[in-house]
Copies of this chain bind each other. A is one copy, B any other.
Amino acid sequence: MEIGYPCNMDRIDAAILKSLAADARAPVSAVAAQVGLSQSACTRRIQALEASGHVQGYGARLGHRRLGFRITALVDITLGTQVEEDLARFEAAVAQIDGVVECALVSGGQDYRLKILARDLDDYERLHREHLGRLPGVVTINSSFVLRAVPTRSEAEALFGGGR
């Protein structure tokens, strides 16, 4: 085990994770070539990474715009209570709303931050009126709209460093 990598990981595992994060449907042989391993060794390491929870699954990156969803809203919601039961009730209600793709309880006041996808402003207005406005315990709702998504480092690069 080398230092600088968490949990029994070395630079080869990191490279495998980067590769899979970049293209999860790439053949194992391609990943193996990229990281300098044989197919079999690479397969075994991938299986180990899946079993250990370092890889929790694989997903498709969908083109929201192309699918007709042009609005991404970042919504701050403040609750008038900090009782755990009220939070749970709020969270259960949030989980039912189509369009909410992320929701997090954050520090600094008892509030939540959501990310919401909608087709257009009308669609978002409907969502706001029919669902957000009816969430239990809400005091304030503050919506911001994404004007431009800035390209950043990928998740894997963030986790393992861009270089190295």
Spell out A's residues near B (CB within 8 Å). 6-7, 9, 17, 20-25, 52-64, 66-69, 72, 74, 91, 94-95, 97-108, 112-113, 117, 144-159, 161-162
Contacts and interface: CB of A to CB of B under 8 A. Distances in A.
A108 B75 CA distance: 12
Consensus secondary structure, chain A interface: mixed
12 contacts: A25-B25, A54-B67, A55-B61, A57-B60, A58-B61, A62-B155, A98-B162, A99-B158, A101-B158, A103-B150, A105-B150, A106-B144
B58 A113 contact: no
Q: Closest 8 A-B residue pairs measured CB to CB?
A: A6-B68, A24-B58, A103-B150, A106-B144, A20-B60, A105-B148, A57-B61, A25-B58
A150 B112 contact: yes
B59 A58 contact: yes
Query: Could you say which of A53, A69, A102 has the most chain B C-beta atoms within 10 Å of its C-beta?
Result: A102
Given A9-B67, A22-B57, A54-B63, 20 more contacts: A7-B68, A17-B62, A21-B60, A24-B58, A54-B66, A56-B63, A57-B60, A59-B61, A59-B155, A64-B159, A69-B159, A94-B152, A95-B152, A97-B153, A98-B153, A100-B153, A106-B146, A108-B144, A108-B145, A117-B159
